[in-house]
Structure 1
């Protein structure tokens, strides 16, 4: 579900059901939707409505929140 959004951030068009929760973030004055871990509340990134089909969402993930494992 990862895709190249052209933003330089790891981006996904969906999340694993039940793994994240959202809240409105006003840190940059304009409201954004933050998503965070549903278990620990750790910040994951922000979700925007300019992603690809089928969801139209762009989960723009903080790279430090990911653990990359080589193939």
Structure 2
């Protein structure tokens, strides 16, 4: 948990292909799992910092578009 400008932030990181695995069972990125994790923190009234270092540009774009579609993008800070 990080405190930034008086707000509570949780830092989340997602990995597109951990250790080269493409299977979600091995921890590969899925939008559903990412959104579940994000919603859990937002339900706790925490804003989020999402570290996108280990996401492909395609997965990063998919995640950002979903957050925009759900009206949640203003609660997220992306790094880098």
Same fold (TM over 0.5): no
Q: From the two aligned structures, give the one with the greater strand fraction.
A: 1
Q: From the two aligned structures, give the one with the greater helix fraction.
A: 2
The normalised TM-score by structure 2 is 0.23
The normalised TM-score by structure 1 is 0.25
